[in-house]
Chains A and B, each alone.
Chain A
Amino acid sequence: MDPVLIGRWQFGITTVYHFWMVPLTLGLGMLVAILQTLYHRTGDEVYLRSTKFFGKLFLINFIMGVATGLVQEFQFGMAWSEYSRFVGDVFGAPLAMEALLAFFLESTFLGLWIFGWGRLPRGVHLASLWCAVIGSWISAYFIIVANSWMQHPVGVEMVDGRPVMTDVWAVLSNNTAIAAYTHTLFGAVAVGASFLLGISWYHLYRRRKDGIDTIAADGELVVGSAPDLPGRDKLDHRVWIRSLRIGAVVGIVAFAGVAITGDVQAKLMFEQQPMKMASAEGACHDGTGFSVLTVGDPSSNDCDGVENVFEIPGLLSFLAKGDFSTPVHGVTTLLPEYQERYGTHLPDDPRYGEHAGEKIDYQPIMIVTYWGFRFMIGFGMIAAGVCAIGLWLTRRGTVPDSKWLMRGALLSITTPFIANSAGWVFTEMGRQPFVVAPNPAQLDGVYMFTQAALSPEVTPAMLLFSLISLTAVYGALMIVELRLLTGYVRGGVASAMPELARVNHTPKITGDDDVLSFAY
């Protein structure tokens, strides 16, 4: 078996999995911090309840992000040691900065937040959560700086065959990184927003189905309470409708941010990695049209077999260059340019293992880039559409009494996740055959083919061992996490605030005997 392929599968699986936890941490963390800030400022118990409820879900997810993040940091050295040696001078720095500036902040203050209810002064407790959330946002910045350097290397010069950092500010302010960072953050906020919307919808629906909330003959909503169900009082209704509407508004704003930053990023990428964008567009030949549907067999990577059935004239030029007429180069134009600049065959060097001397295929797998790009945009639009529809349908203060709509709302939680994953798969696989893509403007020699990046003495058996064991453990933990999340979601606010299950509860944040003070 080809060790490069196994190594890539492992990196792909572990990274996509890790990036299911991460956007929820980034997005939901911010929303929980906003909810707690609202509680701090208004004293309204609605926000205390939503903070505790969504905070609990946030923590269940957060720990999985931490656990799977360690794998990310270790596997560069374990499986991709040649890559680590080649890029270490510039790539290691943002990773170390991430740990120093972000991870310590995030984990120390999250510990303070979890255990600090009623123990820390309220302002300090709230600030702890903000520190943790800001820490997670800083960590996203540094890891995207590292990734963007692989997409578009800057700030280095070649010394003895390796890029050496000469300008750390150029690396940190890489325009690719700024565009990708803002794009990723808005995408993460969209994930958190859909999460709020879907789960709140579910509870509002349950309240209607259980006959707690009813619609009177004049169309007015009558909010009731069910004393026998823990936490199902009148306030409970406000918790969900408020969370739902916050989620919907934030989701729409986030989508606008995603679209704007995505446009900036796409324009950069047309310049920096033209082949990636050409194959994302199914653009075999130069032209201006944006493909809405391409048939034939894009998977063959054979331009003769690909036909654009329907395209919007001018749109591609607009996306790439900002006008409707400049033709965008297609694959057939770009291929000879790449071959001329970076060679037609891999060097006949033992470091390339069995791939030495192979012909280089500069065109990424078109079916992945083409559909990855469209899934990203399509599912992002669905997520935003659900938010808009959700705002309209809940204008009377609750959700329609429809099981299918409730199911749709819950299912829509997955859409921004899919958009996020599709976007990353597109941009990472679109970078192939390079692990470090060349910067077309400068920096001759600063690029690396993926085939040269693997650890030379690591065997396919070792790679398979880690691939299989990590995938199996990840799969099992996914089931555990989803079951825990489902259990806590079903229980409603009372699952995070057991005092609501007691008769005649008084809302309070207490000291020593509070459950969250001894969270475990």
Chain B
Amino acid sequence: METLATIWFVLIIVLWMGYLFLDGFDLGVGMLMPLFSRDERQKRVLLNSIGPVWDGNEVWLVTAAGATFAAFPHWYASLFSALYVPLTLCLLALIFRAVAIEYRGKGHTPAWRSFWTWAMALGSLGIAFFVGALLAITSTGLPLNEYGDMVGGAFAWIGWPALLGGLGGVGFALVHGLLYLGLKTEGPMRAKARRWALRAMLPASVPFLIWFWLAGLTRFWLLAVVAVSVVFLTASVRAVRAGAEKRAFTFHVIYLVTGLSAVFAAVYPVILPSTLNPAHSLTVTSASSSEYTLGVMFVVTVIFLPIIIGYQIFSYRMFLGRLRETHIPEAHRLPVAIRS
């Protein structure tokens, strides 16, 4: 029981990592839409660089939430109801981001395009902030009563962890998006992505580093994990400087994965601490589903997750190659309504 529940805890953290690793760069590119690009053509390079893959990436979030519901219903119920207000805002952000990507190119007035550009940017910003905040909060805890419900009103979740996680999420996504653009574009945009990444990387990583560091302080061996994380961040910066974009991107992912591992290893076996009374904290065993359900879901996941990763890799391979501005065709104008 405890083993299976622990495996599920690890799997859910892996799903969240997968989400940040993949949709993270979509969010970064989304935030960069209004300011990074000089003109319409560059904006469309940004949009099309994530066009074929962003929706598949977002499913990692859907799966993380669904798996939490299935494997740890109490975790899902306590966390989601406590974060009622921020998750409402996050949902609105998710709605605007998705619709912006699909609809921006389907209208042709400057006002239409600029509206959806900003909807995409602010939507991406909101998602990155609230997902980061949610992860930080689930590691530091909420004022939960004996039923697992947050007391203290709609805003009792606000505090430094939410801020740190939120800013950290935004910073991570921004850098991740720049590194992705370095991999995915050609010409002036590629050079610009590199310049921006070099400037942004260290300051944008500070909030996550503080969060990782505080987790590392709890146990000696975790400090070593956090140290590894820091080493990979520095290595990523150096790779950017050297123009080794693939390495920079990979190291940035390893930095995230090691850092988050340290954070969630530090709280284990608690998965949602109560800041009021440790007895009210949710743990892997107290919050989990039955062994049968965990087992069924484990079998399903073991079979399907490799298949999913397989066809997502196939999808990325199909769209391998760099985009340049000259690839982007003339904007496709809707013909005037056919009427006499």
Contacts and interface: CB of A to CB of B under 8 A. Distances in A.
A515 B329 contact: yes
A437 B205 CA distance: 50
Contact of A114 (B51, B83, B293, B329): B51
A159 B68 CA distance: 21
Contact of A104 (B68, B80, B312): B312
Interface in A244-302: none
A267 to B, nearest CB: 30
Interface in B4-62: 44, 47-48, 51-56, 58-59, 61-62
B111 interface: no
B268 interface: no
A96 B67 contact: yes
Interface in B302-318: 304-305, 308, 311-312, 315, 318
Given A108-B311, A108-B312, A165-B290, A85 B98 contact: no
Contacts of A63: 98-99, 101-103
A78 B84 CA distance: 5
B98 A67 contact: yes
Given A107-B55, A484-B107, A115 B95 contact: no
Contacts of A490: 337-339
Interface string A75-108: 0111101101101111111011111110111011
Interface stretch (A215-223, A368-376, A411-419, A493-501): A493-501
Given A67-B99, A92-B70, A98-B66, A78 B293 contact: no
Contact of A459 (B47, B154, B332, B337): B154
Interface stretch (A25-33, A225-233, A333-341, A383-391): A225-233
B80 A78 contact: yes
Interface in A421-469: 455-459, 461-462, 465-466, 469
Given A168-B296, A230-B335, A77 B290 contact: no
A112 interface: yes
A358 interface: no
A258 B168 CA distance: 51
Given A73-B62, A96-B69, A457 B149 contact: yes
Nearest to A100: B304
Interface residues of A, number: 93
A142 B296 CA distance: 15
B246 to A, nearest CB: 22
B311 to A, nearest CB: 6
Nearest to A461: B154
Interface in A154-197: 159, 164-166, 168
A93 B70 contact: yes
A71 interface: yes
A424 to B, nearest CB: 21
Contact of B79 (A77, A95, A232): A77
Given A104-B59, A104-B312, A457 B81 contact: yes
A92 B99 contact: no
Q: Which of B68, B72, B91, B94 has the most CB of A within 10 A?
A: B91
Given A81-B78, A473-B95, A96 B70 contact: yes
Chain B interface size, as a band, is 35 or more
A313 B65 CA distance: 51
B48 A89 contact: no
Contacts of B333: 498
A470 interface: yes
Nearest to B88: A466
Interface string A114-131: 111001100000000000
Given A456-B149, A462-B154, A77 B63 contact: no
Contact of B103 (A79, A100, A104, A484): A484
A518 interface: yes
Contacts of A82: 77
A25 to B, nearest CB: 13
Most chain B CB atoms below 10 A, which of A66, A71, A459, A512: A66
Contacts of B77: 77, 81-82, 84-85, 88, 455
B84 A462 contact: yes
B138 interface: no
A82 B333 CA distance: 51
A68 interface: yes
Contacts of B305: 100
Most buried by A among B61, B81, B318: B81
Contacts of B153: 459
A67 B329 CA distance: 28
B335 A492 contact: yes
A488 interface: yes
Contacts of A518: 44, 48, 51, 327-329
B7 to A, nearest CB: 14
Interface string A350-376: 000000000000000000000000000
A62 B55 CA distance: 11
Interface string B126-152: 000000000000000000010111110
B125 to A, nearest CB: 17
Contacts of A494: 335, 338
A519 B56 contact: no
Given A166-B292, A210-B340, A457 B151 contact: yes
A70 B91 contact: yes
Interface in B83-115: 83-85, 87-88, 91-92, 94-96, 98-99, 101-107
A191 B107 CA distance: 26
Given A77-B77, A465-B88, 18 more contacts: A67-B95, A67-B99, A68-B95, A81-B80, A88-B76, A89-B73, A92-B73, A95-B66, A109-B311, A111-B52, A164-B290, A206-B338, A456-B149, A466-B84, A470-B92, A480-B99, A487-B337, A520-B105
Interface of B: 44, 47-48, 51-56, 58-59, 61-63, 65-74, 76-85, 87-88, 91-92, 94-96, 98-99, 101-107, 145, 147-151, 153-154, 289-290, 292-293, 296-297, 300-301, 304-305, 308, 311-312, 315, 318-319, 327-329, 332-340
Across chains A and B, which 9 residue pairs bring their CB atoms closest together, nearest first? A88-B73, A77-B80, A92-B70, A92-B69, A81-B77, A81-B81, A108-B56, A455-B81, A63-B102
10 contacts: A74-B91, A81-B78, A88-B70, A104-B311, A107-B59, A111-B52, A111-B53, A229-B338, A461-B154, A477-B95
